[in-house]
Amino acid sequence: MTPGSALRAAIEQRSAAMRYRFRRDALGFICETHQELPVQPPGGGRTLVLFAHFDPEGVVDPYVVYYLRALRGLGATIVFVSGSPTLAPESVAPIRELCAGVYTRRTLSLDFGSWHLAWCVLRERGWSLDQFDRFVLANDSVYGPLFPIEEMWGSFRGADMYGAIESTEQLTSHLQSFFLAWDLNARSRAFLEDFWKGFQYIVSKRILIWRYEMGLSRRARRAGLSLKPYVSAAAVKATYARSPEHQWARRFSMSLNNTIYFWDGLIEHLRFPFLKTVLPRYNTPWHHSMADLRGFIEQHTDYPYEFIRANLDRLGCGEPVWVRPGRRTVLTNKVVDVLVDRTAPLRGGSPHGARVANRRARENS
C-alpha cells in the first residue's frame, strides 16, 4: 500500500466511524451478502458464534473452513462476517452449510467491528440471546483447533465468561479476544446487550486494543461477571520451568504475550488448541524453532499441517520471506535480557531461566 492510498484509507475509516456515531446504522457497512440470516435460528443450535474473518485476497482459506467445521460440531449457529469487502464465491461455497449468515464489509475496528456488525444483523433479523445458552466471539487469526476443541469447550464450567487464554500484558489481566465465550444468564445477557449497544467504531489500533481487547474483561469484572480461562497465566508461569532452555526463557519473568513468545510450550505442555497465524507467516519476533514447525505440529498434534503450508504459499509468506533480526536488533535484545536478569528479583521473577540461557549462550559463542 502506497502512502497516498494508506492516507485515503485512514480518512475513509475515520469518516465511516464518525458517520456511525451520528446515524447508528452499522448495517450500512455491509458490502456483500452471500447468505442471509434466516428470520429464526436453525433448530438445535444453542450456541451462537460470531466469527470475524479477513483475507487480503478475499479468500476463505481451507484452514478457516476446518475451524468453522469444528465449531459447527459443537452444535453452534455461526454468523460469519469478513473484513474483506469482496469474497471469491468459490471459496464461500464450503462454508454455506456451516454458517447461518455470511456477510462482508470494509475493515473498520478490526475484528470487533465485524462482531458488532454480526450483532446488528442478528438483532435486525429479530434474533435474541434468549434463544441461546452460550455466546462466542472467534476469529481467523489462529490455526486450529490443534487438539479436539471439546477439550477446551468442556472446561468452560463454573463461570460467566471464558477465554482460550489469560494474558497479563501491560500488567492488565484479560482474556485474549480471539476466542471468548459466555454462559448466557441474566448477568451475562445484560452485560452483552449493554456492551454492544454502547460500541463505538475506533480507528486507532492502540485505543481499540485498550478499550475492547483488554477492556472487555475489565468491564465484565466491574459488571460482576466471573471469568475463567482455559489456560491461565498461573498455569503458563508454572510451565515455564519445564522449558529452561527455551529461546525466550530470559524473558519469562516479564508479562509476555505467551501465544507469541511461548507458543510451543503452550502446545506441547498445555495442549493449547491454537497457533497464531502471524508466527509462521512472518516469524516475528524471531523464533529459531519456527523452521521446524511442520515436525513440531506433526509430533505433538493431529492437525493437518498442509492447511498451514497452503495458506503460507497462497499469501506468499513463510520461511522464504522471513527476515532475520539485524545486528542492531540482536544487540538490543541482549541489552534487554541483561536488564531483565538484573531486575527479575524486584519483579518477583526467578533468574534461574536466565542463568541457564547465559550458560548456553557462552557455550555456543
pLDDT at 365 over 90: no
- At 98-129, the pLDDT tens digits run 999 999 998 788 899 999 999 999 999 999 99
pLDDT of residue 261: 96
- Average pLDDT of the chain is 88
pLDDT of residue 32: 97
C-alpha to C-alpha distance for 285 and 266, rounded to whole angstroms: 17
pLDDT of residue 6: 59
**With b meaning 16 or more CB within 10 Å and e meaning fewer, what string describes 112-134?**
bbbbbbbbbbbbebebebeebeb
When pLDDT is cut at 50, 70 and 90, the band that residue 37 belongs to is very high
- When pLDDT is averaged across residues 200-220 and rounded to a whole number, the result is 90
Choose between 322 and 6: higher pLDDT: 322
C-alpha to C-alpha distance for 128 and 121, rounded to whole angstroms: 11
When pLDDT is cut at 50, 70 and 90, the band that residue 253 belongs to is confident
Please list the residue range(s) of the chain that carry CATH number 3.90.550.
3-231
Q: Return left, alpha or beta for 263; rule: phi > 0 is left, psi -120 to 50 is alpha, else beta.
A: alpha
When pLDDT is cut at 50, 70 and 90, the band that residue 349 belongs to is low
- When pLDDT is averaged across residues 73-83 and rounded to a whole number, the result is 97
**With b meaning 16 or more CB within 10 Å and e meaning fewer, what string describes 186-201?**
ebbbebbeebbeebeb
pLDDT at 218 over 90: yes
pLDDT of residue 18: 61
C-alpha distance across the termini of the chain, in Å: 41
What share of the chain has pLDDT > 90, as a percent?
Answer: 72
Is the Cβ–Cβ distance between 280 and 317 less than 8 Å?
yes
C-alpha to C-alpha distance for 173 and 154, rounded to whole angstroms: 23
Choose between 87 and 206: higher pLDDT: 87
Q: Return left, alpha or beta for 172; rule: phi > 0 is left, psi -120 to 50 is alpha, else beta.
A: beta
Q: Which three cell numbers stand for residue 289?
A: 524453532
State the CATH class of domain 3-231: alpha beta
Beta bridge partners of 58: none
When pLDDT is cut at 50, 70 and 90, the band that residue 358 belongs to is very low
**How large is the angle between the packed helices 293-300 and 263-270, nearest 10 degrees?**
20
Q: How many Cβ atoms are within 10 Å of 50's Cβ, its own excluded? A: 25
Is the Cβ–Cβ distance between 290 and 312 less than 8 Å?
no
Lowest mean pLDDT among 211-215, 342-346, 361-365: 361-365
pLDDT at 21 over 90: no
- When pLDDT is averaged across residues 299-313 and rounded to a whole number, the result is 98
- When pLDDT is averaged across residues 235-259 and rounded to a whole number, the result is 93
- When pLDDT is averaged across residues 3-12 and rounded to a whole number, the result is 63
Inter-CA distances, 5 with 11, 12, 15, 49, 108, Å: 10, 10, 15, 34, 16
| Residue 69: CA count within 13 A, CB half-sphere | 10
Angle at 329 between CA 323 and CA 332, to 5 degrees: 160
279 phi and psi, to 5 degrees? -65, -60
- pTM, two decimal places: 0.87
- When pLDDT is averaged across residues 19-23 and rounded to a whole number, the result is 58
SS3 57: coil
When pLDDT is cut at 50, 70 and 90, the band that residue 352 belongs to is very low
pLDDT of residue 315: 98
